[in-house]
Structure 1
Amino acid sequence: MKILAIDDQQLVLLPLEKRLVALGYQVKTESNGKAGMESFESFQPDLVIVDMNMPDVSGLDVVKFIRNIKKSNTPIMVLSGNTNDEIITESFDLGINDYMKKPLSLNEICARVKRLIGVEAINSTKNFNNTIIEQRCVGVVIPCYNEEERLLSVEFLDFVDKHSGYHLCFVNDGSKDNTLEVLNKLRKGRESFITVYDCEKNGGKAEAVRLGMLHMAKKTDLDYIGFLDADLSTDLADFDDLVSTIENSDYKIVSGSRISRMGADITKESARKVISLTINFIIRKILQMEFKDTQCGAKIFHKDVIEIAFNNKFLTKWLFDVEIFIRIRKHFGLDRAKQILCEKPLKRWIHADGSKLSMKDSIKIMGQLGQIAWVLR
C-alpha cells in the first residue's frame, strides 16, 4: 500500500518515512502543500498523512483539494500541532479519518495507520524504538575543541534516535586531535539529523558557537536553535526542558541556571564557585538584570532573535553570553528584554574533568568584564 506524507518539517518526515517503509509501506514525502497535491494525482496513494500548519498551501487546503476538487475518498490522517477546535471540526466536516496531535509517538501513529488501511508487512509485529514526533523542530549547536576523549557519542545518538525534532550541529573548532574524525563517524548514517561544521583554525568557543548558530539559522524547518557544551555538563533531558519552556511561552531566550535548588544534583569546585559568584555580581551590575547565572553553557533561542544575538563577532573569548544579553537589551530596551529573557534552573549540572577554563582564566575574565562595560557603556 502507498502512503503520501506531507509536512514542511523534514525532521518530522524523515523518521516517519523510515518507520513506515520498515513496516512495508511504499512511502512518498513532500515538504509543501502544493507539491503534495501534485503527488496525490501522480502517486495515487492509499493514505494521505498531512500537517495543518504549512506556509502558502495549508493542510486544510490539501484536504479540501482531495475531498472537494478531486472528489476522492482516500483516507486522510492529519498529523499536526494545531489544536484549534475550529480547524479540527472543519477537518472532520470535510471528511478526514483521523486527527493526531503532536507530540506523539511513532508507535501510536503506525498503530493508527494499521487500523485505517491494514497491516502491510511481515515486520508489523517488530518492536521499534518509541521515537517521539515533536510539535517543534530544534537545532542544537555543540562546540568541540579536542573532544576526542570526552565526547559522549552514545548519549547524543540515543537522544537523536528517540527525539525526532532535533538536529545536532557539532562545530569542530580547529581541534588538534582526532575530534573531526570522531564527529564524522558520529554523523554517519544520521546525516539528516547531525551536521558537522568544520573550522580549520581554532577561534575559541564564542566564535564556534556564533558560526554554528548562524549556520543552523539557514535551515528553514527549525523553530528554535540553542547551544550546549560537548561534555554534557548539562544533560540533554534538561536541555529538552529548556525547549519546552520556550515552546510554551512568549520568551525569546531561555537560559539554563546552575544555581542549586532542592532536589537538584549540582556539583562544582568550591574555589571556582567563589570566583563565579563574584563574577556574577559584576555581570548583574553591567546588565542591570538579576541573572543568577549567565555563563551556563545551555541556552535556547527563538529563531527570530538569532541575527540580533549572533550576527556580529563577540568582543571576548568567554563572556559572549553576557554580550548576547547586552545585545538583546540594546535592541529591545531594558523593560522588554526582561520580559523575553528567562532563566530556568537545571535539575543536574556537573563540572566535568578536563574543562579548558582554568583558575587563571577565571581571573582574566574580570578584565574582560571591564572591557565589555567600557566598549558597550
Structure 2
Amino acid sequence: MKILAIDDQQLVLLPLQKRLNELGYETFIETDATKGIALFDSEYPDLVIVDINMPEVSGLDIVKHIRNSKKPNTSIMVLSGNTQDNVITEGFDLGINDYMKKPLSLNEICARVKRLIGVPEIGQVSTKTEVMIQQRCVGVVIPCYNEEERLLSKEFTDYIDKNSGYHLCFVNDGSKDNTLEVLNNLQKGREDFITVYDCEKNGGKAEAVRLGMLHMAKKEDLDYIGFLDADLSTDLADFDDLVKTIETSDFKIVSGSRISRMGANITKESARKIISMTINYIIRKILKMDFKDTQCGAKIFRKDAIEIAFAEKFVTQWIFDVEIFKRMSLHYGLKNAKAMLCEQPLKRWIHADGSKLSMKDSVKIVGQLAQIAWVYRGNNYQLKRKVAKMEIV
C-alpha cells in the first residue's frame, strides 16, 4: 500500500513518514506541491495526505487534480492547521474523505489511515507513540561555549523525538573543550532536526546567537525562530508556552520573564537578584519600556523581526537583548514597538551552576548600558545602518 504526503513543512512530514513506514505502508513525502502532483501521477498511491495552506499550489488544487486524474477514486485526507468552515466545506465538496486539524497526535492520524485504506499484512507496529504533529514549525538557537559537562543532551533529544515541528540549532562558540564533539554526537541520526553551527573563534554569546538566528532564518519551513540557554534554566516545555503565545497573537517577539511570575518555581541567589533588579531599573529608563526582565535567555521571534533585530553586530556581549528591543523601537517607533513585544512569566527558572556571568561581570554591565544609550541615541543608529547599507551596495 502506497501513501503520498504533501506538506510544505518537512518537520511535519518526517515523523509521519517514519511512523507510516513502521506500520508497513510505502510512504512518499514531498514539500513542493507541484512535485507532489507529479509524484502522484507516477506512483498512483492508495492514499494522499495533503496540507491546505501551501505556497503557489494549495492543497485544494491538489484535490482537484486527483479527482480529475486517471485514478480519481484515490482516498484523500487533509492534514492542516486551517480551521475555516468554508475551506473545510469546499474540501468535502471536492471529494476529500477526511479532514484532520493540526495539532493532532500521530496515533490518531494512523488510526484514520487504517480506517480508510486498511492495514498492511507486514510491518505493523502495535505500540503507540507520543508524537504530536504540530501546526507550526519552530527553530531554536542554543549558544554553546565549553558546555561539555553541562549540556543536557537527553533532555533535548527526548523533546524533539516527542514534539514534531522543532529544529534545534546548536552554535559552538569556539569552545576549548569537547563541546563540538558532544554536539556532533547529539546530531547523529537526527540531522533533519538538529543543526550544529560551528564558530572557529569565540565571539561571545551575543554573536553566537546572532549568527545562529540569521542561519535559521534561511530555512523556509520555519514559522518562528527563538533562542534558549544551553543549561535549560528555562526548559523546553516553558519555551513551547512562549511559542503558543506568539502563534495566537500579533506579537513579533515574546520574551520569557523570571521576575514577572505567578506562583512560579524560580530560584536565584539573593545578591545576584538585587544586582539584576538594579540593572533592570536602568534598562527600563533606556528603553522607555516597562520590561521587568529583558535578560531572560528564552525568546521567540516572528521571522520578519529577525532582520531588524539581528542584521547588525551587537555593541555589547551580555546585554544584547536590550539592543534588540531598542532596535525594534527605533525601527517601528516606541508606541508600535511596545505593542509588538510581550513579556510572559515563566513557570520555572533555575540558576544553573557554572554560569559564565560573575558578580564582577554584572558590575561591568552598567558600563555596557552607557554604551547602548550612546550608540542608539536619537537617529544615530538609523544613520549608521543607512551608511552600512550604502557601503555594502
TM-score by length of structure 1 reads 0.99
> Displacement, 1:69?
4.9
> Displacement, 1:68?
3.4
- The aligned residue for residue 280 of structure 2 is 280
Change over 3 Å in CA distance of 1:336–1:70 after alignment to 2 = farther
1:51 aligns with 2:67: no
Letter in 2 for 1:275: I
> Displacement, 1:126?
2.4
Give the Cα separation in 2 of the matches to 1:75 and 1:255. Answer: 44
Alpha-carbon displacement from aligned partner over 1:64-121 (angstroms, at most 9, x marks no partner): 1111355601000000001111010000011100000000011111111011101115
Give the Cα separation in 2 of the matches to 1:334 and 1:45. Answer: 54
Change over 3 Å in CA distance of 1:119–1:103 after alignment to 2 = same
1:152 aligns with 2:145: no
- The aligned residue for residue 300 of structure 1 is 300
1:268 aligns with 2:254: no
CA RMSD of aligned residues (A): 1.0
Give the Cα separation in 1 of the matches to 2:71 and 2:45. Answer: 14
Letter in 2 for 1:39: L
Find runs of 4+ consecutive structure 1 residues off by over 3 angstroms. Answer: 68-71
Alpha-carbon displacement from aligned partner over 1:207-234 (angstroms, at most 9, x marks no partner): 0000000000000000000000000000
Count matched residues: 377
- The aligned residue for residue 74 of structure 1 is 74
Give the Cα separation in 2 of the matches to 1:118 and 1:289. Answer: 58
- The aligned residue for residue 174 of structure 1 is 174
- The aligned residue for residue 32 of structure 1 is 32
Alpha-carbon displacement from aligned partner over 1:7-43 (angstroms, at most 9, x marks no partner): 0000011111111111111111111221111111101
Q: Is the 8 A contact 1:213 1:226 kept in 2?
A: yes
Give the Cα separation in 2 of the matches to 1:11 and 1:121. Answer: 28
Q: Is the 8 A contact 1:23 1:121 kept in 2?
A: no
Structure 2: any 5+ residue segments left out of the alignment? 378-393
- The aligned residue for residue 259 of structure 2 is 259
- The aligned residue for residue 351 of structure 2 is 351
Letter in 1 for 2:159: F
Q: Is the 8 A contact 2:255 2:299 kept in 1?
A: yes
Give the Cα separation in 1 of the matches to 2:71 and 2:114. Answer: 24
- The aligned residue for residue 94 of structure 1 is 94
> Displacement, 1:47?
0.3
1:5 aligns with 2:37: no
- The aligned residue for residue 211 of structure 1 is 211
Q: Is the 8 A contact 2:131 2:161 kept in 1?
A: yes
- The aligned residue for residue 386 of structure 2 is none
Q: Is the 8 A contact 2:260 2:344 kept in 1?
A: no
Alpha-carbon displacement from aligned partner over 1:285-339 (angstroms, at most 9, x marks no partner): 0000000000000000001111110000000010100000000001110111011
Structure 1: any 5+ residue segments left out of the alignment? none
Give the Cα separation in 1 of the matches to 2:305 and 2:125. Answer: 45
Q: Secondary structure, in 3 states, of the residue corresponding to 1:254?
A: strand
Q: Is the 8 A contact 2:260 2:292 kept in 1?
A: no
1:111 aligns with 2:111: yes
> Displacement, 1:176?
0.4
Q: Is the 8 A contact 1:260 1:266 kept in 2?
A: no
Q: Is the 8 A contact 1:81 1:101 kept in 2?
A: yes
- The aligned residue for residue 391 of structure 2 is none
Q: Is the 8 A contact 1:172 1:196 kept in 2?
A: yes
- The aligned residue for residue 237 of structure 1 is 237
Give the Cα separation in 1 of the matches to 2:324 and 2:153. Answer: 29
> Displacement, 1:240?
0.3
Of 221-230 and 122-131, deviating more is 122-131
Alpha-carbon displacement from aligned partner over 1:196-255 (angstroms, at most 9, x marks no partner): 000000000000000000000000000000000000000000000000000000000000
Q: Is the 8 A contact 2:262 2:347 kept in 1?
A: no
Alpha-carbon displacement from aligned partner over 1:171-200 (angstroms, at most 9, x marks no partner): 000000000000000000000000000000
Of 104-113 and 126-135, deviating more is 126-135
- The aligned residue for residue 85 of structure 2 is 85
Give the Cα separation in 2 of the matches to 1:12 and 1:125. Answer: 20
Q: Secondary structure, in 3 states, of the residue corresponding to 1:230?
A: coil
Q: Is the 8 A contact 2:22 2:125 kept in 1?
A: no
> Displacement, 1:123?
4.2
Give the Cα separation in 1 of the matches to 2:39 and 2:88. Answer: 24
Give the Cα separation in 2 of the matches to 1:259 and 1:122. Answer: 55
Q: Is the 8 A contact 1:4 1:27 kept in 2?
A: yes
Q: Is the 8 A contact 1:258 1:293 kept in 2?
A: yes
Give the Cα separation in 1 of the matches to 2:283 and 2:58. Answer: 46
TM-score by length of structure 2 reads 0.95
Q: Is the 8 A contact 2:262 2:345 kept in 1?
A: no
Counting aligned pairs with the same residue, the percent is: 79
